[in-house]
Structures are given as C-alpha cells and as structure tokens.
C-alpha cells in the first residue's frame, strides 16, 4: 500500500500550465517535442472555453498531479452512440508502476459507461511495447484493419482552399 494519498480529479482552468507541462513531458518521451506548438493559453481556451473541446483528469499523490489523461467525445454512426476517445495519457516516470495509469483508465471507462458511450478507444505508437502490453491487461484489442489518416499544417490549409467540385468554379 503506497504511503501517499492517491486521488483522481478533473482539471480546472488554473491547471492549464500543469497540463502543458505534462504534454511537454509526454512529447519528449515520444521523441516528438519539436511538434508541440500549443501554448498554455491555447490549452486554457480549448479545454475551459465555451464550449470546452476536451477534458482532463489528473492522477494525484497527496493532491499533487503525477499523471494526466486528456479525452473527448466522438460519435459512432454504426452504434448510434457517443464514444470516449483518449488523446493522451501520461504518468511521470518516477511515479510509474504504482497503478496510476490503470486507475486513470478505469476512471475513464467509468465515465464512458456513465455517459452511455458505446466504446472507449485510443491509439498507441507501434514502438511503445510497454504501453501496448499494459493496454492488453485492460482487455484492449488492437484494430489491425484501421489505419490513421491525417491532414495538418500547410496540407490542411491547402485542402481547405480547394473548390468543393474540381470541375466547377469556387463557390462564394
């Protein structure tokens, strides 16, 4: 039994800096630090504005955040029900192995169940075998037949500037 008190709590607007610190730590772990362009103010606006775009929970020891999970709702057209999508989950390395990640995943599963979600899903980097193994212990199944597609940055701007129909002039 750990000597510290464990809790999970939702983030509030004043936590935007802490959320940013967790995102930065996750990005460094994933060797993607160069891709973080979000700011604390971006997070405050998107997570706590109207409407909030996503939610965050913290795993805490003695009320100090040691892990975080950022999630939002999706909609399954096949199920006709919402889903819960986990964008990021991260526990500080010095706090791993204490059950914080598992507790946050169970907490999110409870939220999904309480909110009538038909599924709870996320992605994992193919090289992150410890995470893949951990997710298997939770009963997660890998969906081999789905390949993520992404348009971002200049490619997104270029796509958005295209006419809706190639053989017609752009609509105004």
Whether 109 contacts 71, CB under 8 Å: no
Handedness of CA 96, 99, 100, 105 (dihedral sign): positive
| Pairing assessment for the beta strands 55-61 and 119-122 based on DSSP bridges | unpaired
- Token pair 């053989």 is found at 167
- CA angle centred on 17, ends 16 and 22, rounded to 5°: 95
How much is the pLDDT for 108? 98
**Which domains does the chain carry?**
6-143 (3.40.630.30)
pLDDT category at 43 given cuts 50, 70, 90 is very high
Catalytic residues: 135
Which helix or strand (DSSP H or E) is residue 86 part of? Answer: strand 81-91
Tokens of 153: 């940055």
5 neighbors 61 (Cβ within 8 angstroms): yes
DSSP 8-state code for residue 171: P
pLDDT digits (tens, 9 = 90+) for 133-159: 999 999 999 999 998 999 999 999 999
Q: If pLDDT is split at 50, 70 and 90, which confidence band does 168 have? A: low
Is pLDDT at 1 greater than 70 in this prediction?
Answer: no
Question: Any idea which residue has 């992404």 for tokens?
Answer: 150
């Amino acid at each position: 039994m750990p000597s510290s008190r464990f809790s999970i709590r939702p983030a509030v607007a004043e936590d935007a800096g802490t959320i940013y610190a967790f995102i930065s730590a996750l990005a460094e772990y994933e060797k993607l630090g160069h891709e973080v362009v979000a700011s604390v103010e971006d997070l405050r606006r998107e997570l706590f504005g109207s409407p909030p775009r996503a939610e965050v929970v913290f795993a805490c020891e003695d009320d100090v955040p040691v892990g975080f999970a950022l999630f939002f709702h999706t909609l399954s057209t096949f199920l006709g029900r919402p889903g819960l999508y986990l964008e990021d989950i991260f526990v500080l390395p010095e706090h791993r192995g204490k059950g914080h990640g598992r507790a946050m995943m169970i907490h999110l599963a409870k939220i999904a169940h309480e909110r009538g979600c038909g599924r709870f899903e996320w992605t994992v980097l193919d090289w992150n075998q410890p995470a893949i193994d951990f997710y298997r212990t939770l009963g997660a199944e890998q969906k081999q037949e789905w390949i993520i597609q992404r348009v971002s940055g200049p490619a997104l701007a270029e796509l958005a500037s295209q006419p809706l129909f190639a053989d017609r002039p752009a609509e105004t």
